[in-house]
Amino acid sequence: MQVLDRIDGFRKELDTARADGKAVGLVLTMGYLHDGHTSLIRRSAEECDLTAVTVFVNPLQFGANEDLDRYPRDVERDVAIAADAGAEIVFAPPVEEMYPTGPVLTSIHVADVSEGMEGAVRPGHFDGVATVVAKLFAIAGPCRAYFGEKDYQQLAVVRRMAADLSFPVDIVGCPIVREDDGLAMSSRNVFLSPEQRRAASVLYRALQAGATDLGRARQAMADTVAEEPLVQLDYAEVVETDNEYRLVIAARVGTTRLIDNLGVAK
C-alpha cells in the first residue's frame, strides 16, 4: 500500500502502471470508508490490475450551512480499510494541494441533469462535485472509475460530464449496500443517535411502498415517512429512464440529511 498526498506522485504511479500494461481502477471518496465504499474497491480490484482510492473532503460541494467542518475524517482508518479491500494506492491530498491558488475560479456545471432534487435543495453542490471529479479524472488519466448508485443524481452528473468532456474514463455504477434493516450505508450515518438510527430505516420502507404502488409512488413514499415523527421529508420523486423507474428520496433525521433510491424495472 502506498499513501500519497501530492498530485505529481499520484499521477506518476498511475502512468507507470499503465506503461506496464496494467488496467487502473479508481474509487473516489470523501473518506470515512464503510462497506459501501469497500464494495466499490473490491469490484475494482476484481476487474483491474491496480486499484487507487482517493480520500478528499471537497469543500466546493458543501454549502454555507452544511456539514463540512463536522464531516468525519480518519485517514489512517481509511488506509487500513482500503488496503484490506484490495487497494494498492491511497491518494489523500490536503486542500492546498488540490486548490493551490486559493479560491477556485473555474467551475463545471452540468445543465439539466444537475437540476431538481439534490440540485434544487443544495444549489451549487453538483458544480462542486463535477469540478473535483473532473480534476481527479485529469490527474488519474485513463481508468475505470467506480461509483455507488446511492448517489443516483451524482452518478448521472458524472456520467454526462465525463462523456461531454471526453475523459478517457469508463464510469461503472455499483449497487447500493444496505444495513440489515435496509438503511443505505453512508458516512453520515455516524451522526445518528440510536433512536434516530432506528427511525432512519423509514427511508427504505418508503421506497418499498412507492415501488408497490407506482401510480401514486410519490404520495406513498411521503405517507410512509410521515408516520415517523423523527424524520422530515425533503422530497420524494420518480425518475423515468428507458429501462426503469427510479424512486428517489431525501430526508432529514435530526440535523443529518440522508438520501436513498430504488430502481423498479418497467
Provide DSSP, 71-109.
Answer: S---HHHHHHHHHHHT-SEEE---HHHHSTTSS------
Q: What is the pLDDT of residue 5?
A: 97
What CATH number belongs to 187-259? 3.30.1300.10
pLDDT at 178: 96
Strand-pair category, 256-265 with 89-91: unpaired
Going from N- to C-terminal start, the domains of the chain cover 2-174, 187-259
* pLDDT tens per residue across span 175-210: 999 999 999 999 899 999 999 999 999 999 999 999
Q: In the structure, what pLDDT confidence band is assigned to residue 100 with cuts at 50, 70 and 90?
A: very high
Q: Report whether 179 contacts 154 (CB < 8 A).
A: no
What is the phi-psi region of residue 32: left when phi exceeds 0, alpha when psi lies from -120 to 50, beta otherwise?
left
Grid cell at residue 1? 500500500
**pTM score:** 0.93
As annotated, the active-site residues are 37
pLDDT in tens, 142-168: 999 999 999 999 999 999 999 999 999
Lowest mean pLDDT among 32-46, 63-77, 123-137, 244-258: 63-77
Q: Which CATH number fits domain 2-174: 3.40.50.720, 3.40.50.2000, 3.40.50.620, 3.40.50.300?
A: 3.40.50.620
The pLDDT value recorded for residue 63 is 82
Angstrom distances, CA of residue 3 to CA of 53, 99, 143, 167, 208: 10, 19, 19, 25, 41
> Quick one: what percent of the chain has pLDDT higher than 70?
100
In the predicted model, what is the mean pLDDT of the chain? 96
Q: What is the pLDDT of residues 212-236, one digit of tens each?
A: 999 999 999 999 999 999 999 999 9
Three-class SS state of 31: coil
pLDDT higher at 54 or 64: 54
